[in-house]
Amino acid sequence: MTRQTFGQKLRRERERRRITLTQLATRTKVSASLYRSLESGNCARWPGGIYGRGFVRAYAEAVGLDADDTVALFSECYPEFATPPPPDAPPPDEAQDETGVTLEKVKAAISALFGVTVNTTR
């Protein structure tokens, strides 16, 4: 799907539901000019990161489209707005569990509490 066909699909669905760009902007709190550019296939002036995907999600929800599918199509047409890959895992000594505790923090706490040096070799 091209950027233009994606935008045309959105516009057709919005118009089919008899929703104007002004009404859409009021519902979503996103500028009508941004949605106009989306429908024309030109998001060059859109904000980056999660904002672009959030605007598309809001559009889809306000128009009654499946938000996840619409955002996925948007990310496909506009890869610069795709979700970035997760950061690389930290080295093993810095690995954290869900509480944020690292091996280095545990060693420091034991050393401070008992006055000993903790040496772990692998």
Tokens, residue 9: 């699909």
Single-letter code of the amino acid located at 73: L
Angle at 5 between CA 37 and CA 68, to 5 degrees: 80
Percent of the chain with pLDDT over 90: 49
How many Å apart are CA 2 and CA 90, to the nearest integer? 38
Mean pLDDT across the chain, nearest whole number?
83
- Please, which pLDDT band fits residue 120 given cuts at 50, 70 and 90? low
* pLDDT tens figures, 22-72: 999 999 999 999 999 999 998 888 887 788 899 999 999 999 999 999 999
Q: Please tell me the pTM assigned to this model.
A: 0.67
pLDDT of residue 95 exceeding 60: no
Coil/strand/helix, residue 112? helix
* Domain 3-81 annotated CATH 3.40.50.1100: no
Domain boundaries, the chain: 3-81, 88-122
Q: Could you tell me which residue, 85 or 3, shows the higher pLDDT?
A: 3
pLDDT of residue 116 exceeding 90: no
How many Å apart are CA 8 and CA 3, to the nearest integer? 9
Residue 94 near residue 104 (C-beta atoms within 8 A): yes
How many Å apart are CA 86 and CA 1, to the nearest integer? 26
